[in-house]
Amino acid sequence: MNRSSLPPLNAIRAFEVTARKGRMVDAAEELNVTYGAISKQIRHLEDVMGVRLFEGPRNRLQLTEAGVKLQPQLTAIFDQLEASIASVVDSEEGALDVACIGTFMMRWLLPRLHRFSARYPKIDVRLSTITNMPNLANAACDLAIVVGEDNWPPNVEVTPLFAELVGPVMTPELDARFNVLKSGSLLSKKGVPLLHSLTRKSAWADWSKVAGVEVPEADKGTDLEHIYFMLEAAMGGLGAAIAPWALVSEDIRTKRLIAPFGFVPNGQVYSVISRDSLRKKNRAFLSWIEHEAKSSPLWSDIGSE
């Protein structure tokens, strides 16, 4: 087969994205086309090649042997094509896709992002949320802000921002009710209500070990689906929560919340991972967010006020 008889590029792209994503509906979303368009392109590709690439029902597509062989080669080709074009077309303007942990985005990144937009008005930062460590080879983002313990994916560049510090937080009214700040203890006749996030179910027990503070029935309390909901519940006075300093620093500064025991490191680090930190847009964002991280208030500064 010579180049003039190759299948249409759109059909090849439709197959590659579907094979990588696993579903036509996800491929349609990434390529910004309809489900029907993806299905039609793949059928055309199969007709031109004379081989089946998928089998099974539409909601449970499986790659055939030919599809399994073809997909990684095409993905590598498209990655190389993207890198080749980016190496030539590199500017400080256009879209920059940044993926981020949802609560960190809402409580730390968004309140600061206007400063980046003012400095780089031609860069359009497009935010998306993630719950797991992304594989940037397959993810539709240029950069991702994550928290971890050096268990980074292969072939990524890592820019550390700051260590994660955690500690119990509660409203001043809840503290007064249970006398936590003065007594220096979470123990009481009734016990301080504990709030948990299902994404960090062991947070109280982990903090207790590091801080050396006894927590009665650390595995019991009110469970909330996400850390954002847990922090909102703490703000509403429903209980005490183990919170990362970066997410509550402004609430501590304005005394909406207090931290009777301060904050301790838990071994994890907030970092930005990227595929190519030398691209101008990536470099601009990394330089800005590093400065923001270094300028963020420290617990040692606010805690001593």
Distances from the Cα of 72 to the Cα of 14, 76, 98, angstroms: 14, 6, 25
165-266 has the same fold as 3-88: no
Instruction: Give me the residue spans of the domains in the chain.
Output: 3-88, 94-163+268-298, 165-266
Tens digits of per-residue pLDDT, 209-260? 999 888 877 778 899 999 999 999 999 999 999 999 999 999 999 999 999 9
pLDDT at residue 192 greater than cutoff 90? no
Structure tokens at 304: 């001593």
**pLDDT confidence band for 1 (50 / 70 / 90):** low
Confidence of residue 139 (pLDDT cuts 50, 70, 90): low
Tell me the backbone φ, ψ of residue 212, rounded to 5 degrees.
Answer: 70, 30
- Min mean pLDDT across 31-35, 148-152, 170-174, 293-297 is at 148-152
What is the model's pLDDT at position 86?
A: 66
% of the chain exceeding 90 in pLDDT: 60
Q: How confident is the model at residue 90 (pLDDT cuts 50, 70, 90)?
A: low
What pLDDT sits at residue 214? Answer: 84
Higher pLDDT among residues 188 and 213, named by residue? 213
pLDDT of 188 > 90? The answer is no
User: 162 near 272, Cβ under 8 Å?
Assistant: no
Confidence of residue 262 (pLDDT cuts 50, 70, 90): very high
What string of DSSP letters covers the chain? --GGGSPPHHHHHHHHHHHHHSSHHHHHHHHTS-HHHHHHHHHHHHHHHTS--EES-GGG-EE-HHHHHHHHHHHHHHHHHHHHHHHHS--S-EEEEEEEEHHHIIIIIHHHHHHHHHH-TTEEEEEEEESS---TTTSS-SEEEEEESS-PPTT-EEEEEEEEEEEEEB-HHHHHHHTHHHHT-S--SS-PPEEEEGGGTTHHHHHHHHHT---TTTT-SEEESSHHHHHHHHHTTS-EEEEEHHHHHHHHHTTSSB-TT--EEEEEEEEEEES-TTSHHHHHHHHHHHHHHHHSPPHHHHHT-
pLDDT in tens, 73-82: 999 898 888 7
Q: Is pLDDT at 185 greater than 90 in this prediction?
A: no
Task: Kindly provide the b/e burial profile for residues 160-189, where b requires at least 16 CB atoms within 10 angstroms of the residue's own CB.
Answer: ebeebbbbbbbbeebbeebebeeeebbeee
Give the pLDDT of residue 107. Answer: 95
Region 179-185 average pLDDT: 78
Q: Which of 127, 133, 128 is nearest to 113 (CA)?
A: 127
pLDDT at position 105 is 95
Q: Assign a CATH topology to domain 165-266.
A: D-Maltodextrin-Binding Protein; domain 2 (3.40.190)
Cα distances (Å, whole numbers) of residue 117 to 1, 48, 114, 131, 188? 49, 47, 5, 25, 49
Q: What is the mean pLDDT of the chain?
A: 88
213, 89 Cβ separation under 8 angstroms: no
Best mean pLDDT range from 6-15, 104-113, 200-209 = 104-113
pLDDT at residue 65, rounded to an integer = 94
Rounded CA-CA distance 267/210 in Å is 10
CA distance 186 to 191: 7
Could you count the other beta carbons within 10 Å of the beta carbon of residue 261? 17
Domain 3-88 CATH assignment equals 1.10.10.10: yes
Residues 29-53 have a mean pLDDT of: 92
CATH for 94-163+268-298, options being 3.40.1670.10, 3.40.190.10, 2.70.70.10, 3.40.50.1820:
3.40.190.10
Is 178 or 107 the better-scoring residue by pLDDT? 107
Mean pLDDT within 41-57: 92
Q: What is the mean pLDDT of residues 130-135?
A: 76
